Structure 1
Amino acid sequence: MGRGRHRRCNPSQRHKDGKRPYRVQALPVKTIKEDLRRRDFTINSVAFDIRNEKIVDPFNGLKDLKMGIIKATDKRTFVEDPLRLMRAVQFASRFEFGVEKNTKYLMSSNAQGLREITGERILDELHKITSKKGNTEIAFDLIDETDIDLALFGSKLRHNHLGQLDDLSFFYVLCKNGSVNPDRFYKDRLRGDRDFTKELEVLDKVMKIDLENIAEEELRFEIFNAIKRAPRFTRSHLLNPRVDDIVSKMRKNQIPSKMADIAIDGNVIEEKLGIEGKKIGQVLDLVKRDSLMGRVDWRDTDKLLAHIEMFK
């Protein structure tokens, strides 16, 4: 092999978010061992010599793979590309591997390098943890133990052991434990997409509801409106049992989860009852509340019209 792939940063160039664009450049290498030394971890520093039909494993990657160990191939691995810190977390959580002691030290020593990495690259590694069924507890522990949290949030995680989390809950807990606003951090630092940002925002609002002092009707109304904005939050593992019970009733079609479930709309109200303007919105709110509380058969248009007539 004559050329290898190596990450280098050009300090004179920056993205619009101020982060340096670590670029992959092809650099000349003299031997396959030199090329393998430039890989991130020993488990990825294994090759096959086609000419001699033998495995080339100068850093005992196969042994580490068998033992379930993440080990840096070279002491400069995290200097050459700090994103490798996130790759270590991703691999450890996905395969439930341990991280070798000296590699943890190297991660902690170079964690601040993540400040120079663009949010999109960090986000990609974080998403792989949940999309590929990684162990989120391992991810939280490693982020804490290697000071990645300090690099990302400027503070240590307040780690709560919550067990395995779905993707939305994982990002929510990660940000809340890092003392940052979840949706703003996801959007501004990680450059995440608009839909997931909205899901985080809605989940945050639902989690802040004062469940000890809110009436059942108001809670059902809040959840109904939240689902309209971002329905995915209902799959979060973090939901309080009261909220989860309401969501369960909606899934079982015991109460409506969206306005389309209710057998009436503004046009019908205007046509059949002669109600117009802002009054229609007020009537629809009444219908939603009474449907959610089971005070009217929300599947029957005639019964809904008769119910509205009672309050005209």
Structure 2
Amino acid sequence: MEILEALTCDEIKIVNEIMDLCKRRGIKSYIVGGAVRDAILGNKVKDIDICLEEDPKVILDELQKLKCCQYHSEFQTAFLVFENGVNIDLIRCRKEYYFIDGALPRISPSRIYEDLYRRDFTVNALAYDIEKKCIIDVCGGIQDLKNRVLRKIHPNSYNEDPTRIFRAIKYAVRYKFSLKDKDEIKKCVENGVFSLISNDRIVKEIYLLCCEENWKENIYLCNDLKIFDVDERLLKIELEEENQDKRYSCTSRVDMRILKLFYSMRDRKYRSILAENSILNKELRSAIECSNEDSHEAADLIMGTMDNYRLYTILRKMNDYELVLLSWNSKLNYKIYNYIYNLRDYRPSLSGKYIASKGVKDGKSIGRILRSIMKIELNSGIDYGQKYLTENLGENM
């Protein structure tokens, strides 16, 4: 199969330029992994990885119309952005060693065959020899693509790198593949395989699952494999982000999905993992952490008031993610919407500076006056500031 036919004209130009540079230096070059897989499946190729049997830095200075280059000497990789918008990852062929299950691997330079054997699944262990225009398939990946099967390569694969379990879920759902290793994955999960890796590595993979179009199916499969204990009924409630009307200005689509996952989780372990990491943004983690600690207290405070001023003073301290979580409680959502639409943008009709200009110099008194004005205005919907001052300070203020 001619893999290059799946690429755009601009991508082909860059790939051929890299091939020509490598050929002049006697370096073998290969398109590898997902690009080959997607081309064979007839899907749009999103990411182009090119493996070289040499350090990519030897050709970087000769590349034409290169807009940006991020080179990492430790792994001998380079991320390239060209002026025509094409992105390419150049990677040194390498082999990997896992001295301890769950640890990051040690790497060393290799040839293409060793590089393919280090990969996660047979359907990703495919390479296209750019010069010879042929596919290299060392693990039966093409046959597995035909059979719509996702299968690991290494005997100890999921213990070596537990994040492969999340990637197996992502690929199985995305391509509608049967998961060959399903029983083995369940056993690894039961044996606590995720305790071998950090919260950050776990959350990074969960985030990527939630980036997928069929993200809910990813979560359902996680549930089936006993990774999560999720209330699927709660997960199926329509997300605000699916019909976003900009009520919550600071939330992203994927963050809303993470929040929905958290909301539907029964097990405290993963609720804590979603709060204790450096992957999710700070406000999202704060909302999750607060909900873990005192969500019942906040809900009870809101439930127990019909006073707009009281509602305003409670909710204005909360970020958008906290408001979203509260709005999914059917007993509270009308109050949250009242705050979002009617109260959040409220500003008192008079400022503290104006009150001070009328002769009130004591800071505590100014604060007390402002609170009184706010309480009347929020509960009545009437601008009351001037009248309040007239009644309390006199008409000749």
Both proteins in one fold, TM over 0.5: yes
Identity of aligned residues (%): 18
The count of aligned residue pairs is: 281
State the 1:117 CA deviation: 0.8
Quote the residue 2:282 is aligned against.
194
Aligned partner (choices 254, 257, 260) of residue 167 of structure 1? 257
State the 1:48 CA deviation: 0.6
1:252-307 per-position Cα deviation (integer Å, ceiling 9, x unaligned): 4xx23156x3443333333336273334444444444444434423xxxxx32324
Matched, 1:80 2:168: no
The residue identity in structure 2 corresponding to 1:159 is: D
The 5 A counterparts of 1:129-168 are 129-130=209-210, 132-149=211-228, 157-161=229-233, 162-163=235-236, 166-168=256-258
Judge conservation of contact 1:8–1:23 (CA < 8 Å) in 2.
Answer: yes
Gap regions ≥5 residues in structure 1? 12-19, 150-156, 298-302
Q: Give the superposed CA RMSD.
A: 3.8
Quote the residue 2:363 is aligned against.
277
Higher relative contact order (CA 8 A, sep 6+): 1
Matched, 1:240 2:240: no
Question: Which structure dedicates a bigger proportion of its chain to strand?
Answer: 2
Secondary structure of 2:307's aligned partner: helix
Matched, 1:210 2:288: no
State the 1:209 CA deviation: 1.0
Aligned-partner Cα distance in 1 for 2:200–2:143:
33
Quote the residue 2:108 is aligned against.
26
1:143-168 per-position Cα deviation (integer Å, ceiling 9, x unaligned): 2332334xxxxxxx153322265234
Quote the residue 1:127 is aligned against.
207
Quote the residue 1:113 is aligned against.
193
TM-score normalised by length of structure 1: 0.70
Aligned-partner Cα distance in 1 for 2:204–2:353:
46
TM-score normalised by length of structure 2: 0.57
Aligned-partner Cα distance in 2 for 1:139–1:104:
14
The residue identity in structure 1 corresponding to 2:193 is: G
State the 1:27 CA deviation: 6.1
Cα 1:282–1:56, aligned 2, differ >3 Å: closer, same or farther?
farther
State the 1:106 CA deviation: 2.2
Judge conservation of contact 2:299–2:326 (CA < 8 Å) in 1.
Answer: no
Cα 1:87–1:141, aligned 2, differ >3 Å: closer, same or farther?
same
Secondary structure of 1:216's aligned partner: coil
Quote the residue 2:128 is aligned against.
48
Aligned-partner Cα distance in 1 for 2:370–2:98:
60
Aligned partner (choices 293, 306, 311) of residue 387 of structure 2? 306
Aligned-partner Cα distance in 2 for 1:232–1:170:
10
Aligned-partner Cα distance in 1 for 2:258–2:382:
35
Aligned-partner Cα distance in 1 for 2:327–2:348:
28
Aligned-partner Cα distance in 2 for 1:279–1:135:
57
Secondary structure of 1:26's aligned partner: strand
Quote the residue 1:154 is aligned against.
none
Which structure's CA Rg is the greater one?
2
1:21-76 per-position Cα deviation (integer Å, ceiling 9, x unaligned): 423412646x62x5323211233222112243122234454565576654323332
Gap regions ≥5 residues in structure 2? 1-27, 29-52, 54-92, 240-255
